[in-house]
Every structure is written in C-alpha cells, then in structure tokens.
Amino acid sequence: MSNLKDTKDVKKRYDELKKEIAYHANKYYNEDAPEISDFEYDMLMVELRNIEKDHPEWITADSPTQVIVASGIHDSHFAEVRHEIPLQSLQDVFSTEDVISFVNRIEKEVPNPSYVVEAKIDGLSVSLEYEKGVFKRGSTRGDGLVGEDVTLNLNTIKSIPKKLKDEIDIIVRGEVYLPRAFFEKINEEREIMGEKLFANPRNAAAGSLRQLDPEITKKRNLDIFIFNVQKSSDVKFTSHYESLKFLEEQGFVISPFLKRCKTTDEVMNAIHEISEQRGDLAFDIDGAVVKVDSLTQREEIGVTTKVPKWAVAYKYPPEKKETIVKNIDIQVGRTGALTPVAILEPVRVAGSVISKTTLHNEDFIKEKDIRIGDHVLIQKAGDVIPEVSEVLKDKRTGEEQIFEMPRVCPVCGSEAVREEGEAVIRCTGIECPAMLFRNIVHFASKDAMDIDGLGPAIIETLIEKNLLNNIADIYDLKAEDIASLDRMGEKSASNLINAINKSKENSLDKLISAFGIRHIGSKSAKIIAKKYQNMDDLMHASMEGLCSINEIGEIMAESLVKFFASVQTEDLIHRLEAAGVNMESDISQNIDNRFEGMTFVLTGTLPTLTRSEASAIIENYGGKVSGSVSKKTTYVLAGEEAGSKLDKAQSLGVTVIDENEFQHMIA
C-alpha cells in the first residue's frame, strides 16, 4: 500500500516537473526573460531524468527530455533557415564523476583517444555561411534543424570576418555573446529610461541579435567566438583542434581556452584551470566542453537524435564561500531606488574577490533574516553577480544587529517612500544629486519639455563638466559652454540653445509631465492642467480638489500633493519661473466634453491625421484613447491597413468609423 502511495507521489512530482520545466524553457528561449538561474533549471532537468530512468513507461513525446527546444523561432519577422548540417546541443553533466565516466566510455569504444577541452561560452549559438571566402548568410540555431536568418544583424559584429583569407566554401558555428561591461551599461540605460532590465548577458545577446533594426544591434557591441566547422567543401581536416587553428588563420576569433588532453587527469586539470579563470574573464562562461579530437573517431562513436555521443558539457556548480556581513550601506540609484548593499569581509568566490553585494530590497533582507554581523554563504548567481545564498544562523552570538531600511534619502534628505505593490523604496526629491542624470533626461524628453538635441550623451557630458547640477541649470547654459564640448560646434550649440529657449513657451501640462511625478504621465498632466490653469494653483491644490478631477484617483492625488509639498520642488519651480519658463496652461477649461465617457481605439493609417493628432483631439473633447479593443470600447477609428484590432471590433460588435465620420463628429 505504501509503495502505491509513494509511486503516486513520484508521478505527481513528475507531472509537476514537466510543466515547470516547460514554463521556464519558454521564459528562457522564447521570451529572453528567465526567472530562475541556469543551475536551478539544470537541477530540475536532472530530477526529471532520474525519475524517467526509474519509470521509463511514463515518458511521453511532450517530455522536456524528448522535446528539442526551439531557441528563438518565435519571431515571424525573420526568414527561416534550414541548417544543412544540424546544430546539435550537448549532453550536460554536473559532476566530475560524470566526466570521468564519459572518458572511460570513450576509451572503451575507440583506441588511444585524445580530447579537446574548451570554455563553454554562455551566449547564443549561430551558423555562418561563406561562399568563396565571402560571408553570405548567418542564422540562429533555432531547434537545431531550422533557425532564423539574422544576417543583417550579424554583419554588425566586428569580429565576424566579411572576407576570409582563402576563397573557400565553409560553414562554421559560433557563440554570440555580450561582454559583461556592455551588459551593465545597457541595463543602466534601460533602467534610466524605465525599461525592463535584461536578466543576464546571454538574454541581452539573444534580444539584441533579434532586433528588427540592425542599428540597434550595432549599438549593443555584440561579439562572437567560433568553435566548430560544420561543413567544408574545399579543406579536409583530421582533428577538431586542427580545424580550429585553421579557422584562426582565416581570420576568425576561436574559443578562448583550447587544450588538447590525453588522460583523464589532463582533462580534469583543464576543466579546473578554466574554472579558476572564469572570474577574471570579460564575458560569461557556464562550463567546460570536453570533445573527442579525432573526426574519424567521432564518426565511429556516433550521435543520438539530440546530442553527439563524443562530447559532454560539464556545468560548473555555483561556488559558495563563507564570510561576514560587516555592515549594510544604502546606495541611491539613478531612478531614486534605495538599494541595501552588504559590506562583506572580503572573500574569493569563482575566481574574484567579493567585498560587497546587493541585498536587493527590504523584503529580501527580511525573508532571509540578514543581520549586520551575520555569517553568510556567498555565491555568484550565474557565475556573475555575487549574492547571499544562506545565513548561517547557528553561528549567531546575539551581537548581530537587525537592519531597518531608512525612510529618508541618505543623499539629499528627502522623504523615501515605498508605494503599495512595490518592493522598492524611492527618494522623492526632484533635486536629488543621485537622480540628476535620469531626471534631466526625462525633463528634456519628447513627451516632456521636448528639448531637441539635449539627449543622454550630451547630458552626461554636461554633468561631468559641472555645467548641470540641477534641472534649472539647463536654462543657464550658454552657447559657448556647449560649443566647447567634444563633437559640438557653434551651429550645434546655437541649435540647442534655441531648442532650450523654445521649451520655455511650453504649456503647463508639458512642465507637469517633465517633473516625472510618480503615476503622472503626459495624459494625466493634460487633465490636471485643464483643471488648474497655473502652477501656483496646482502647488496649493488639495487632495479633495485633485480627486474631484475625472481620472485622477487617490494614489495620483497623493503623489501630486507630496511632490508639491517638497522644499526641493518649491526651489526648482522658483528657479524655472525666474528663468522664464511658462507656468500657465493653454488648455481651455471651456472646451466641450462631447466625448466624455467614450473610449476610442485607433488602428491603421488615417488619410490626413496622425495617430497622435487624433488622440489629442479625442482627449481634448474629454474622451479616452485605449490601445486594445474590448466590449467597453465605444468606437474604433480605422484607417488603411487596419489589423487585428479591426477584426476584434467587428467580432465584438463595436462601432467602426473612418476619418471622414470622425471629422463630422468634431465639426
């Protein structure tokens, strides 16, 4: 009876694992947004394989062990490429015993084998095709049989030779990766612009390679290592090592760590050597690959439907080291987020010395019960980012201190708040030096004060030159200050000064939007500026008065009241007013609200109006503009090449109008 119960429990766990792994595989391969580490995913797969080993009768075609995961064949914008030679994946192993077993098996199958041990780059696998030495086409691995044509994007990678030394026909395989320094820079820029951050360099590389605009890919600074000859019509090789050295002569950048080995000890020493180096590398690796060197012996050993039998990929386990939390500091990021950082007794982990690590937020600290003085285990998540994996509570002495997150910004002294539904505590100070760059970028952006020419790069330079220490300093800039900057001449300086002066004439709603007040966007700024016709009235607005405005709820009203009650806000507004920035609204309170209570959805190309112009008209008449069609939609305003929104409107019985009917409605 107990065996039956145990079997039911195992079967239940087996079914759960299949669903869980399928979910995370989709997140990793198709959404480039993993929620767990590679190691955690690998451990789920190991658990699944172990169950299937004991219960092979449960294996079905949809099991993750049977399915070939398609890495990225989810974007119909790219043409499909059928690989002439399949791009197989490798069998992962997770212990030195597994590597030794692999070597022992190979030695029984072929005489006197030799091996090549390489670093396993954590990137995106691609195929490069050359005709008479000229790069013709590049594609992603996909499911190994069919990938996506990303030739234009691969052409932006400088280390991919466009012409080889010899005029040969050859197909090679490589791993596109994003150097760690560029990964950090990209995420910093995305954070500033309020965009979702990439989880790790591998996913950033995948997302970059699938950009529809090659110029965006070019800016991402992708790189590549070549690790295999897939097909060669003109040159014949006897060994893998020989083929890679040939590729290097042709102009390719080959795998960074390449070692020929004869014995088990040599193989294990090479794996250990790579492990020691990985913390000092400029890019991510997640293991070491062991391959039989002889191409003839590879043919003799053979392949399965999914993996070659002549190679394994040893995945490094996360290395954990014990240290002490000496203190917890607070860092204020460019978005105003207060991030707790553990100051550690320095310890060497995965090849580098760790002296501090992020603790993310107060929930993370409370969940793990991290205290100042605690003994903790540190590991590198994905072998890159150090993190506290465990608190060694049995080593506590009673002297440890419980940490509380501050409710005042340590940089500027403004109130720091945690809003409902968020884990982050943020500074509310508009003049906080830590947020200066982000605040000025937003202030000058198109949906705010729309200062043409004042982009992130020049803002960064102006801050470095001490010419911008406050948002209001924008209006103190002189043409000669700007002209003296690199790549900025007199004409560029004059154009920027003109754009700055022009922004002074903007209506009040643009200024409200430019402040970057939490929960207040450009649409709500217009609604507010229609009610409060000047800055002075708005600064003295009450919660009740704000909440009386249609579409302004309590959270938005509270955010506005707190913002305008700040001393920093008052100082900034006085400086802007003194500089001549308009503080009056040009949105009439007397416009009729004929569209009040109505929701419009726009689709397709209109004959004479742009979508933004049509949206502004609808909003000025009290209506709403939505991005999706539902039963609550009043009208769908459709132009040429209207897509799925038109189809949905028709299926739901929503009234569809064209621009001519719309013009009659506003006449």
Residues carrying an active site annotation: 120
The answer to whether residues 475 and 489 touch, using CB atoms and an 8 Å cutoff, is no
Q: Provide the token pair at 73.
A: 């064949």
SS3 category, 88: coil
Alpha-carbon Rg for the chain, nearest whole angstrom, is 30
User: Other CB atoms closer than 10 Å to residue 573's CB: what's the count?
Assistant: 21
Angle separating helix axes 38-54 and 2-29, nearest 10 degrees: 140
Number of H helices, E strands in the chain: 24, 24
Pairing mode of beta strands 635-638, 352-358 = unpaired
d(CA 71, CA 398): 51
Residues with Cβ within 8 Å of 147's Cβ and at least 6 positions away in sequence, in order, are: 72, 73, 80, 81, 83, 87, 126, 127, 139, 140, 141
Residues with Cβ within 8 Å of 139's Cβ and at least 6 positions away in sequence, in order, are: 81, 83, 126, 127, 147, 148, 149, 150, 151
Count CA within 13 A, CB hemisphere, residue 144: 12
What φ, ψ does residue 386 adopt, rounded to 5°? -70, 145
Q: Look at residues 234, 67, 261 and name the one whose alpha carbon lies nearest to residue 167.
A: 234
